[in-house]
């Protein structure tokens, strides 16, 4: 059994006793050794959840490694060491566990997806993350609709454009990325694979962060349905980006 460990420390929250990076590493090492498994690597990460750019790149690297089938099990010392980013958790569960078949073990809670109880817990987590993602999306649409009804400009310019004097102006570099996404999607690639492709080539998203499958899907569907064209009437001034 090939095992990858993950240890995480959040600098913006009070740290639980005996759960430093070194403690987590020792707990994982002892657990793997007691089971006679092969420890491939332990990824360690320090995060800051006070910023929107908290992407946990080491965790994203683990998800990418699962695509290559480089390990069989992800072991963590405790569930709250994993991630508080709902999108990232959704990607980890749906892509790494559900699609790539990687098992997840959380030592402190005794969660082990190799047994029926752990498998059920994984499905519940998957349902909750998808529900929460959809809930946030629905609430966002409702807020946007209310603001537009008041004549307010809402949110950021869509990918491929920027606002200038209350009008949408094309951004050539982003439109090239839109064309690339359309090409790959039309060739049958999944949104996950396209996101991975863009991240590997360090092609920036709208805010310069990591691409997610849902982000790619939004860009593709906007392009597919001809939304946000430059000749579209500009929204009235109001809430800034």
Domains with residue ranges and CATH for the chain? 2-132 (3.40.50.1390), 151-241 (no CATH)
Q: Residue 153 has which token pair?
A: 């400009």
Predicted local confidence at residue 79, as pLDDT: 84
Residue 241 pLDDT > 60:
no
168-191 pLDDT per residue, tens: 788 899 999 999 999 999 999 999
Nearest to 91 by CA among 70, 62, 50: 62
**pLDDT for res 179:** 93
Mean pLDDT of the chain: 80
Give the residue from 129, 104, 128, 124 showing the smallest Cα distance to 115: 104
- Mean pLDDT on 137-161: 68
Instruction: Provide mean pLDDT across the span 23-36.
Output: 96
Rounded (to 5) percent helix, strand, coil in the chain: 45, 15, 40
Q: Give 38's pLDDT tier (boundaries 50, 70, 90).
A: very high
pLDDT in the model for residue 127: 75
Other CB atoms closer than 10 Å to residue 41's CB: what's the count?
15
Sequence-distant (≥ 6) Cβ neighbours of residue 218 within 8 angstroms? 159
Average pLDDT of the segment spanning 27-41? 96
pLDDT given for residue 237 in this prediction? 31
Average pLDDT for 54-74: 88
pLDDT at 101 over 80: yes
Q: What are phi and psi of 45, to 5 degrees?
A: -145, 140
pLDDT surpasses 50 at 204: yes
């Amino acid at each position: 059994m090939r095992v990858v460990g993950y240890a995480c420390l959040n600098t913006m929250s009070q740290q639980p006793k005996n759960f430093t990076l070194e403690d987590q590493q020792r707990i994982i090492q002892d657990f793997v050794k007691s089971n006679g498994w092969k420890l491939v690597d332990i990824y360690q990460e320090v995060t800051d959840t006070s910023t929107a750019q908290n992407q946990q790149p080491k965790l994203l690297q683990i998800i990418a490694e699962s695509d290559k089938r480089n390990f069989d099990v992800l072991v963590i010392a405790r569930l709250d060491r994993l991630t508080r980013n709902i999108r990232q958790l959704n990607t980890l569960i749906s892509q790494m566990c559900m699609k790539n078949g990687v098992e997840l073990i959380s030592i402190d809670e005794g969660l082990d997806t190799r047994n029926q109880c752990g498998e059920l817990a994984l499905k519940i987590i998957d349902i909750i993350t998808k529900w929460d993602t959809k809930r946030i999306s629905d609430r966002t649409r409702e807020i946007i609709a209310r603001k537009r009804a008041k004549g307010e400009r809402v949110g950021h310019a869509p990918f491929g454009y920027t606002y200038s004097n209350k009008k949408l102006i094309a951004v050539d570099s982003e439109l090239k990325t839109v064309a690339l996404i359309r090409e790959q999607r039309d060739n049958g690639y999944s949104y996950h694979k396209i996101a991975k492709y863009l991240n590997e080539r360090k092609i920036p998203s709208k805010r310069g962060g990591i691409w997610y499958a849902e982000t790619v899907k939004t860009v593709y569907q906007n392009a597919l349905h001809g939304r946000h064209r430059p000749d579209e009437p500009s929204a009235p001034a109001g809430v800034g980006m």
